Amino acid sequence: MTTLISIAIIGAGRASLTLTRLLHLSKANIEITVYELDASEHSRSDQGGSLDLHTNPGFTAIKKCGLWNAFSDCACCTGGEKRIADKNATALAHVGGGKKGTSIVRKLIDEVLGFFRQGDLTTLTLRTLYELTVGTKWEHKEESTLIRDAPSLATPFSEEGVNKAMEDAMGLVKLIEKSLDVKKDLSVDRAVMLSAQSLFIRSERLQRGMMLDKENVFGHGVPIAIFTGLTDVSAEESSSSLVKAVGTAPVLALVHGMLWTSILIDWAVRKF
């Protein structure tokens, strides 16, 4: 890997920074320039919220970047408790938050609540969410490509965006390194094109999952559709015969019936 190439990266988002870091650590002789509108990480007061990083590829990418220890020191792990209920507050599921659970900030909630009660709902800013059509692709342009949201813009209901972005970066770096190996018969342009082809597959999977999650959460079948949808997706993606059996029509029908029974019983108790 002795060939010097120059790579320009537009935008310093999660995918771009992962790509930059991995290229920087690479043994390949690569000159990298990152172009970013913000002068620093402190240029804007709102830099976004928490990210839902998964064990793979999110954590895998951080480890490959050699930043796991630094990440662990400042990471804030959330999502320890989840409740799913219908519009009448009938609890259908409660995960986590055991009786022995404690919160060091519980005593501060009343103070914070008083602050937020002063808010004016009429001043809320409603922002549009954008998404690309499922399966969107583009014609390859010589030695250029897109990663992260640009090729697979989707609403944030599948909680996969940042993980897919980091996977995009890892896949692209791997192929670029391979193209610079004199023992491999692979040009840089061909490597970029192959990376895009695998990216299309990931993008369509993410977009389809997002559309399903959006329907399950906001469609007419909510909240039962959340359970049946998650069960169906898990069964489809699993290699376990047992898990696949759980996703069959009879089992899903049984789950649907049990949840509806729970809702009806709760309604009857409140009504009579």
Residue 259 falls inside a structural domain = yes
Tens-digit pLDDT profile for the chain (272 aa)? 455 789 999 999 899 999 999 999 988 888 999 999 988 878 877 766 778 888 889 999 999 999 999 999 888 776 666 777 777 777 777 766 555 555 666 777 777 877 777 777 777 788 888 888 888 888 898 888 998 887 788 888 777 888 999 999 999 999 999 988 878 889 999 999 999 999 998 888 888 888 888 887 787 777 777 777 777 766 666 677 776 776 677 777 777 777 777 777 776 777 77
Residue 201 falls inside a structural domain = no
Half-sphere exposure for 210 (CA within 13 Å, toward CB): 23
Residue 143 falls inside a structural domain = no
Q: Which residue do the tokens 């870091």 mark?
A: 21
Domain count, the chain: 1
Residue 200 falls inside a structural domain = no
Structure tokens of 92? 């259908």
Residue 248 falls inside a structural domain = yes
Residue 267 falls inside a structural domain = yes
Which residues constitute the domain of residue 232?
219-272
Residue 42 falls inside a structural domain = no
Residue 251 falls inside a structural domain = yes
pTM greater than 0.85 (yes/no):
no
C-alpha–C-alpha distance, residues 136 and 88, integer Å: 39
Residues 6 or more apart whose Cβ sits within 8 Å of residue 134: 204, 207, 208, 211
